[in-house]
Every structure is written in structure tokens, then in C-alpha cells.
Structure 1
Amino acid sequence: MNYNNLQDSGVKLLCTGLKDINCKLEILSLKNNCITEGGCHVLAAALNSNPSNLTELDLSENKLGDSGVTEISSLLRNSQTIQILRLSDCSICEEGYKALSSALRSNPSHLIELDLTGNDPGESGVKQLSDLLQDPDCQLNTLRFLGPAADEGCKYVTGIVGK
């Protein structure tokens, strides 16, 4: 459902179906739909109320901000199935990174891919991610939080000096 300008009102309508006990949705991609904190609140509440088979959630290119990501973090605390979460270009700053890291430390075993490209982690956000990756229970295989050029630079340096 990418690029459909759903806005928060459209997400609210979609959530009516997500709450249905018969919902078997595995992948939900709502990239670039003008979703804000309010839409995140409704979405997280719907998905928390009905444990589903959702394994992948993409909310990239929406204006979620730290408040919206805090709502999505509540979903991560409860989910036993979400493996991939994409939140690139969502106006997330240090507080959002803190909420995500906290949620993943409390329920670390399922998420294997996290995309935060195009957000501004700030110094404390980078520290939160670093601390999370040091957790032996953390299962993240893929973490993206830099732009493509910086990511390539990190891969190059890692190849030379190791971890």
C-alpha cells in the first residue's frame, strides 16, 4: 500500500481489518503515506490487540517523529513475530532511538533487520544502538542507520581493521 496518501484517517480504516481475529497479514508496507504519530498510535494499538503473523513492517518516508516511533516501540515490546522493521526517513531523533533500543532490549529475540537510514540519531542515539548490539540476546543481523555513502565507508574501514 505504498505511496497511497492514506494519512492517519486511512490507517484508522485499515486497522479495523487488522483487529479482525482472522487477519493473517504477514507483510505490511505503508511507505510514504503521510502517516504521523496519530496513525502510529492507532496502528500499534490494532496490532497489539490482535497478535498476528506480521513479520515485516515498513513505515519508511512518513513523518512519524520520536512520538510515532515510541508508539511503534510498544508494538516491538509485545511482538513475537516481527523480524523486519523499516523506518527510513521518518524524522526520528535521539528520543526515538532511545525508545526503540529500550523496546528491543526488553524483547530482543525476533527482530533481525532494522532500517533507520535517513534519520538523525545524534550522539546518544548512536550510543543506544551500540549498546543494543553489545547485548548477547540481540539478534539483529542487519542494521542500517547511515546514508549509503557513509555505510559504504564503514564497510570499507571494517574490512581493513575488522569489527
Structure 2
Amino acid sequence: MYTHFFRFQILQSRRKYDGEYTPDVSWDKDAILSLGKLAFHQLERNNVIFYDTDLKDCGIDVYKASVYSGMCTQIFKEETGIVLGTMYCFVHLSIQEFIAALYAHLFLDINKKCVFDQDSIEQENKSETNIDLLKTAVDKALESDNGHLDLFLRFLLGLSLQSNQRLLQGLLTQQDRNDQIKKEIVQYIKQKFEANLSPERSINLFYCLNELNDQTLVKDIQTHLSKGSLSSADLSPAQWSALVFVLLTSEEELEEFELQKFKKSDEYLIRLLAVIKTSKRAL
């Protein structure tokens, strides 16, 4: 959806500013690299507001910002207030996160280098691959206390799928043709559940698995729930995280949470604390 939206805005921009109209879009790599660099670096710093100097640092002509605005239907929103000068932000945070993820794939495609390592001297002579990028992004997102890279990671994983990379034909020169990368990153994410993750980080990892079309852990827990066997089952950390995810994302509002239906101990109380907090009544 975001890819189609982005391509549509390029068409609109060419029609409005250049007087061109074609039913097909050839990707403007220079524009995407400039916008992407801005989106990624500001997201990495957890910034949603930026200034003229930030645009200039990314090769964006401040006086042509209106052109970029038209290209992406006011991708930049100008706000004047107490701060002297003009401030900019993407029209929505998810647009910034998507363009940052697209930039990460394009940067790797052009430079054979992970966008997180672009300033690292150690990585200068090392050719990196898609799986290196995805694993690093998972690690970086898990290191965040406030989850500012969570949605960026989900976009990044979604764009890595062959089915979605078809949308990027003409932009990326190298496209993966097998499922090995998907299997490897799914396994890598599942291993992360062995660590003592916060409920927020665990939940985002399950959304990541959904993005990769892998629901094995969730289906396993749903089977246990339907059989009512969770009070006696010895679940792995990943399965406990799956249970929390299933309970928190259920369409049914949790009126009453009864711990003894699962396991009655301090350890499991702590694991299920996020569910207990959202229920109206807990036993």
C-alpha cells in the first residue's frame, strides 16, 4: 500500500511540476536517496521535526522543498511557531518509517553495505547482504527503549519478501529469488524470544513474524488455548510471548483474567503481567 502510494505521488509530482504524465513510473533514485537519508537519519535519532540544515545535509535544496512537498502530497509539513525559522516533518510518522526502510534496501543495493554501518571504518571493505541488514535491524530495534524503530523494522522485513520486491522493479538491481533469507530471519527472530524481552518488544517481534507470513508460534498457542491445556503445558519463552501476544491482540475484551488457568507461580505471573494490566478483573 505504501509503495503504491509513493509511486502515485511521483506521478502527481511530474504532472504538477514538470507537465509530464505517463501511466508508468521510472524510479527517481536521487530523490529517493535524498528523502530516504533524511527519513532514516532523523528516525535513527528519534526525531520527527527537522530544520533547513537537516535538509541541506541530505542534499535537498531548501528552496525546492515545495517540489518535494508536491511530489509526496505535502510530504513536508511546514510549521512556524516559537522556534525561529521553519520546521519540517513528514506528513505522517509511518511515511517517514516506510521511506527510511526503502532507503535501507536501496542503500544496500547500491553500496553492498548495511545502512547502520555506513560510517563504520571496519565495514568499508566488507560486502554485506540482505540478511546482514535484517539481523542488524532486529538487534537495533530490540535495543530501543521506546520502540522508535519498531515500525521501521516491520516495513523493512515486509519489503524483503520476494512478493513485495516485485513492486520495486526498476529500483533495486539485486532481488532475492529464494526463501532462504526468509527462513533465516524468521529463525533469528524466534531465537530472540529466549532473552528477557519486555512485552512491548515481544509483541513487535510477533508483528514482524506476521509481516514475514509466519504464524507457527501463534497457531501453536491457539491450539493449546482451544484444548485448555495451558495449565499443565511446559511452554518455552517464545511460546509464553506468543500467549501474551494472542491474549493482548484478541478482538474480545478481557473481562476477567484467571491465572490458575495457565500456571500459578511468580514466574508466570511476571510473564503475564502485561495481560493482567489490561484486564478489568484479575484473579
Q: TM-score range by the shorter chain?
A: 0.3 to 0.5
Structure ranking higher in helix proportion: 2
- TM-score, reference length from structure 1: 0.44
Structure ranking higher in strand proportion: 1
- TM-score, reference length from structure 2: 0.29
Identify the structure with bigger relative contact order (alpha carbons < 8 Å, sequence gap 6+). Answer: 1
